[in-house]
Amino acid sequence: MAEEMIVVEGNRTLRGEVAVGGAKNSALKLMAASLVGQGLVRLHNVPRISDIEIMAQVLRGLGATVERDGHSLTIDTSAVDNCETPYELVSKMRASISVLGPLIARFGHARVSMPGGCRIGARKIDMHLVGLEALGVEFDIDHGFLNAATPHGLRGTDIALDFPSVGATENLMMAAIVAKGSTFIENAAREPEIVDLANMLNEMGCCVKGAGSSVIEIEGVELASLHPCEHTTVGDRIEAGTFLTGGALTGGPVTVRGVDPSFLRMALMKFEAMGCDVERGPDSVTVSRTRPLAAIDLQTLPHPGFPTDLQAQFMLLGTCASGVSVITENVFENRFMFAAELMRMGADITIEDHHAIVRGVERLQGADVSSTDLRAGATLVLAGLIAEGQTRVHCINHIDRGYEDYAGKLQSLGAAVKRVPVAAGQE
């Protein structure tokens, strides 16, 4: 397939409704968890994005069959007999490391390539390894691979995470489900995707309590007692927040459906603090604005704090606000790479360590810009909506990792946006 870019015509207002898909960061881990089901697992509300396809290839490489029907996946893991994930797949997507926990739970050993993904920070997996070692896993690193073994079996224990890492919490949950005795994960991640994974594990016969709080308790069960299940992925709060940013940016109203507003509590409060009107429904949110955007201070924190995956979107809002906004990034150290691209469009941003000082400007100008990561790419397209002239967003493979038909959904809201081959766009 020819490399593509997204071309955006500026001075457009987004209005209308859009449905968000299943949460990328949940569906990937649910797919990994299917390994402990040892049979035919059906997952619904699974988005059509490239990260999902990579995870499907990882599972197929382990011996599973994965079939898609619309937004549902049927995953048969009964014939899985391989415990090694190849570099060429895992290096493309960091979430592939999430097969480590379920492989250890099912087979007692695994060989997993070190992970890759967006270049937005080191995101070391030390906490995964330290926690798994406490459960009885022994590791050695061999030419870029993690070799995991459990010579004495898995045993329940108390684990205190240095930081409420989502990935570490998930891997520990999926390994501890068959450990002898009880496991307590303290300072656990509290994201809605953690709750979604715990719900699916319990549907397969596991005993996980406290998901969504800072302490998760897992009572180990026999592997033989676990069974497949049918599960529906929760709505994607980050996709929802991205489209709602479009409503705040252009005035809207923009309504997103298919997401629990409580998942976005902090972000919705920040929208209101910036002068937006927010309406919450049972599974929908509407954002509109009739007043000028107000400057804001925010800092990213683990859930229920402000999500790092919405930091770029709010930095864009800050460029259009009256006054000076201060954005502090506490989760990923390289996530301000996006600022340089926004500055190509006329934004006034100063980076000081992990703080971004954003001074509102009168207008942005269309330009050629490149996605530096998944969320940055989606935000640059939004920036093009309010810029003068045409904006061309390159490296949109990042966007395809987490947004299904992003251009099409924006078009349905009134955006003048299209995907074109790079060569054609440069003629």
Residues carrying an active site annotation? 118
Q: Would you say 375 is a known binding-site residue?
A: no
Peptide linkage before 304 cis (omega within 30 of 0): yes
Q: Decide: helix, strand or coil at residue 324.
A: strand
Q: Give the chain's length.
A: 427
Residues contacting residue 34 through CB under 8 Å, at least 6 positions apart: 41, 43, 59, 64, 75, 77, 102, 228
Alpha-carbon distance of 228 to 313, in angstroms, equals 38
- CA distance linking residue 157 with residue 137, whole number of Å: 12
Instruction: Name the β-bridge partners of 257.
Output: 19, 284
Rounded-to-integer distance, Cα 110 and Cα 86, Å? 12
- The DSSP call for residue 31 is H
The dihedral built from the CA positions of residue 400, 250, 22 and 417, taken in this order, carries a sign that is negative
Instruction: Please name which of 87, 93, 82 lies closest in space to residue 123, comparing C-alpha atoms.
Output: 93
- Helices and strands per DSSP (H, E), number in the chain: 15, 24
124 annotated as ligand-binding: no
106: which 2 tokens?
Answer: 């099912």
For residue 331, say whether it is annotated as part of any ligand binding site: yes
Does 392 belong to an annotated binding site? Answer: no
Tell me how crowded residue 154 is: count the other CB atoms within 10 A of its CB.
Answer: 22
Return all residues near 337 (Cβ < 8 A) that are at least 6 apart: 119, 120, 372, 373, 376
Q: Is 330 annotated as a binding residue?
A: no
Annotated binding site for UDP-N-acetyl-alpha-D-glucosamine: 94, 309, 331
Annotated binding site: 24-25, 94, 309, 331
